[in-house]
C-alpha cells in the first residue's frame, strides 16, 4: 500500500482481511480501488494455480515417495522437496556430495595461500532455481530446528550472515552433539542409581534415568562404560542430526545369571581420566585421531557352561527407522517420537496426533474400544514406511463412541505387527 493507507502488513494476505479493509477503510481513494482489486484478484488466481500444480506434482507416483522422504529434513517443505526432485533428477549422476554442492553452487571455491584459506564468492554459473530454493530453506530451517539454530548462531557470530546460512552441521571432524542411546531402566534394579558406572567418572551428567523410566545417555567425548540390568529386551541408538534411529531387540532371560547383572553395556569413547605416580589427575589426549568419536551399545549374554562341541546362540533383531527431536520409547511396531493423542471434538469426530518411526512398511490401522473393552471396529489411516517419519495429524469419524484407541501397524502382507500406542480418548479442553 504505497498510497499511505494504514494496514496490518502481516495480515494483508489473510483470508477476508483485504475485503474487510476495502469495506471499512475510508482513506482508500476511489480512484485506486479498481486497481487494488485487480491486483488482489491476480494474486489470488496465481496462488490457486500454484496450489493446484503443487498438489498435482505431489500426487505423481514417480515423486510421492521421494518428496515424503525429503520433507523429513528440518526446513524442507513441499516446494523445496519438489524443486530438488525435479531439478536434480537422478541423484546417482553425482559422484559425491561435493559434486552435488558444486552443481547447486552453495559453496565457493577455495583459494589457499600459505596457511590462509579464502573462499571465493558463489559463481553465477549454476542452477539458479535449485540454488535459490535451497538458500531460502536454509534461512527458514533455524526457526524450526534447535540444532540448526545453534549452527547458524555460531557462524553468525563470526560476522557473516550468508556464511551462517550455508554452514554445514555435518562436518565429519565435528563431534555430533545430538547423539543418544536409550534403554528401559529396571525399576527393581540391583544398581544404586539403576545403572552402574563400570569405568569413567562416577557423576556423569551425560547419563541419567528420566522420569518416564528410560535410561538416556548423551554422547560426550569422554571415556566411560555404563551397565544396565534392563529386563525389557531393547535398546535404541538415535542420531538427532540425521534423524535416524536403530533399535536392537533381544530376549531377556529372567532365570539366567548375567555377568555383573548387566544385560546392556554402553561405552563412550574419548580421553580417559588418569592418575600419575604422584596421585595427580589428568586427561589423556582428546585428539580425534587418538580417541575417535564413537559410542558402543551392546547386549550382554547370560553366563553359560559349555562342554566341548556345544554352542549357544544369542538372537537379536535390528530395526532401522526414522527419528525426531524427541524419544518416548519403543513399542511393538516402532518408536514413539511424539506420543499419540486422541481428542473428542464437539462435532463427534476425533482428532488424532502423534509421530512415530515405523519398523515395517504397511499401513496404520486405528482400533476403537468401548467402555468395557468391547471392540467397536477398526479404520485404516495411512501408508507408512521405515524410511519416512510418520506424522499423524488428522480428524476421523469413529464408529459409535469409543473410550480408547489403539494404533496398530499392518505390514504389506496384512500381518498385524502390533501396537504403536494405545490411549484414552480425551475431551476437548475449553478455551
* Dist. CA 342–CA 326, nearest whole Å: 19
Please give the pLDDT value at position 429.
Answer: 58
Residue 83 belongs to some domain of the structure = yes
Domain end position, chosen among 262, 291, 320: 320
Please give the pLDDT value at position 176.
Answer: 76
Phi (first) and psi of residue 259, to 5 degrees: -60, 120
* Dist. CA 262–CA 191, nearest whole Å: 10
* Dist. CA 266–CA 179, nearest whole Å: 13
Count other C-beta atoms under 10 Å from residue 190's C-beta.
11
Cell triple for 99: 559434486
Q: What DSSP letter does each residue of 29-98 carry, written as one string?
A: -TTTHHHHHHHHHHHHHHHHHHHHHHHHHHT-TTTHHHHHHHTTSTT--HHHHHHHHHHH--GGGSSSHH
Domain end position, chosen among 293, 320, 347: 320
Same domain, residue pair 376 and 256: no
Same domain, residue pair 149 and 184: no
Count other C-beta atoms under 10 Å from residue 321's C-beta.
25
Same domain, residue pair 253 and 316: yes
Same domain, residue pair 316 and 413: no
According to DSSP, residue 388 is labeled B
Same domain, residue pair 92 and 189: no
Q: Which of 269, 174, 189 is nearest to 222 (CA)?
A: 269
Same domain, residue pair 289 and 183: yes
DSSP bridge partners of 237: 181, 246
Residue 397: give the domain boundaries. Answer: 331-427
Residue 227 belongs to some domain of the structure = yes
E strand or H helix that includes residue 419: strand 416-427
Q: What DSSP letter does each residue of 238-286 carry, written as one string?
A: EETTTTEEEEEEE---TTSPPGGG-SEEEEE-S--EEE-TTS-EEEPP-
Residue 85 belongs to some domain of the structure = yes
pLDDT tens for the chain, 431 residues long, are 555 566 666 566 665 667 777 777 767 777 777 877 787 778 778 878 877 777 777 777 777 888 888 877 766 778 888 887 888 777 777 777 777 777 776 665 555 555 555 555 555 556 677 777 777 777 777 776 666 776 677 666 655 555 445 455 555 556 777 889 999 999 999 998 999 999 988 888 899 999 999 999 999 888 999 999 999 999 999 988 888 999 999 999 999 999 999 999 999 988 887 777 777 777 776 555 566 788 899 999 999 999 999 998 889 999 999 998 899 999 999 999 999 999 988 888 899 999 999 999 999 999 999 988 899 999 999 899 999 999 988 888 988 889 999 999 999 999 999 999 999 998 765 44
b/e burial code for range 82-109 (CB count within 10 A of at least 16 → b): bbbbebbeeeeeeeeeeeeeebbbbeee
Please give the pLDDT value at position 164.
Answer: 47
Residue 2 belongs to some domain of the structure = no
- The contacts found for 164-170 with CB under 8 angstroms, 24 or more apart, are 165/135, 165/138, 165/139, 166/106, 166/107, 166/135, 166/138, 169/241, 170/241, 170/242
Please give the pLDDT value at position 115.
Answer: 53
Q: Please state whether beta strands 416-427 and 334-344 pair in parallel, antiparallel, or not at all (unpaired).
A: parallel
Q: What DSSP letter does each residue of 304-365 carry, written as one string?
A: ----TT------EEEEEEE--S----B-SSEEEEEEEEEEE-TTS-EEEEEEEEESSSEEEE
Same domain, residue pair 307 and 338: no
Same domain, residue pair 140 and 265: no
Please give the pLDDT value at position 250.
Answer: 95
CA 95 to chain centre: 27
Total domains, the chain: 4
CATH at residue 356 = 2.60.40.3020
CB under 8 Å to 131, separation ≥6 — which residues?
A: 104, 105, 106, 122
Radius of gyration of the chain (CA): 28
Same domain, residue pair 216 and 188: yes
DSSP bridge partners of 111: 118
Same domain, residue pair 316 and 336: no
Would residue 329 be called left, alpha or beta, if left means φ above 0 and alpha means ψ between -120 and 50 degrees? left
* Dist. CA 203–CA 69, nearest whole Å: 40
Residue 70 belongs to some domain of the structure = yes
* Dist. CA 411–CA 149, nearest whole Å: 37
Please give the pLDDT value at position 332.
Answer: 94
Same domain, residue pair 86 and 42: no
Domain end position, chosen among 58, 84, 99: 58
Residue 174 belongs to some domain of the structure = no
DSSP, collapsed to helix, strand or coil, labels residue 13 as coil
Angstrom distances, CA of residue 289 to CA of 173, 296, 350, 409: 10, 18, 55, 44
Same domain, residue pair 123 and 247: no
Amino acid at each position: 500500500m504505497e498510497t499511505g493507507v494504514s494496514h496490518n502488513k502481516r495480515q494483508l494476505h489473510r483470508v477476508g482481511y483485504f475485503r474487510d479493509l476495502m469495506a471499512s477503510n475510508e482513506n482508500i481513494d476511489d480512484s485506486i480501488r479498481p486497481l487494488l482489486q485487480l491486483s488482489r484478484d491476480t494474486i489470488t488466481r496465481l496462488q490457486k494455480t500454484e496450489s493446484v500444480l503443487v498438489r498435482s506434482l505431489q500426487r505423481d507416483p514417480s515423486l510421492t515417495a521421494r518428496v515424503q522422504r525429503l520433507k523429513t529434513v528440518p526446513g524442507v517443505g513441499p516446494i523445496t522437496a519438489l524443486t530438488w526432485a525435479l531439478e536434480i533428477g537422478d541423484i546417482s549422476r553425482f559422484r559425491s556430495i561435493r559434486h552435488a554442492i558444486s552443481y547447486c553452487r552453495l559453496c565457493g571455491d577455495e583459494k589457499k595461500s600459505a596457511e590462509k584459506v579464502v573462499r571465493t564468492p558463489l559463481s553465477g554459473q549454476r542452477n539458479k532455481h535449485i540454488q535459490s530454493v535451497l538458500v531460502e530453506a536454509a534461512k527458514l530451517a533455524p526457526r524450526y530446528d534447535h540444532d540448526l539454530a545453534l549452527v547458524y548462531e555460531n557462524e553468525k557470530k563470526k560476522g557473516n550472515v550468508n556464511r551462517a546460512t550455508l554452514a554445514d552441521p555435518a562436518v565429519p571432524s565435528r563431534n555430533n552433539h545430538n547423539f543418544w542411546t536409550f534403554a528401559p531402566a529396571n525399576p527393581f534394579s540391583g544398581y544404586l542409581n539403576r545403572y552402574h558406572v563400570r569405568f569413567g567418572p562416577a557423576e556423569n551428567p551425560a547419563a541419567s534415568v528420566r522420569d518416564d523410566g528410560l535410561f538416556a545417555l548423551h554422547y560426550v567425548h569422554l571415556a566411560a562404560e555404563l551397565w544396565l540390568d534392563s529386563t525389557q529386551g531393547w535398546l535404541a541408538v538415535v542420531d538427532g542430526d540425521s534423524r535416524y534411529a536403530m533399535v536392537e531387540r533381544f530376549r531377556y532371560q529372567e532365570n539366567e545369571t548375567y555377568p555383573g547383572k548387566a544385560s546392556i553395556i554402553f561405552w563412550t569413547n574419548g580421553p580417559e581420566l588418569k592418575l600419575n605416580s604422584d596421585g595427580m589427575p589428568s586427561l589423556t589426549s582428546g585428539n580425534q585421531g587418538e580417541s575417535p568419536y564413537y559410542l558402543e551399545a551392546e547386549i550382554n549374554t547370560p553366563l553359560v557352561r559349555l562342554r566341548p562341541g556345544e554352542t549357544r546362540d544369542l538372537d537379536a533383531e535390528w530395526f532401522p527407522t526414522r527419528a525426531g527431536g524427541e524419544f518416548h520409547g519403543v513399542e511393538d511396531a516402532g518408536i514413539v517420537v511424539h506420543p499419540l493423542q486422541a481428542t473428542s471434538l464437539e462435532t463427534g469426530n476425533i482428532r488424532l496426533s502423534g509421530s512415530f518411526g515405523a519398523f515395517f512398511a504397511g499401513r496404520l490401522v486405528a482400533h476403537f474400544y468401548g467402555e468395557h473393552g468391547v471392540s467397536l471396529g477398526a479404520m485404516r489411516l495411512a501408508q507408512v514406511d521405515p524410511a519416512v517419519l510418520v506424522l499423524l495429524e488428522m480428524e476421523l469419524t469413529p464408529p459409535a463412541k469409543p473410550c480408547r484407541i489403539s494404533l496398530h501397524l499392518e505390514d504389506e502382507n496384512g500381518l498385524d505387527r502390533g501396537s504403536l500406542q494405545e490411549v484414552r480418548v480425551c475431551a476437548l479442553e475449553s478455551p
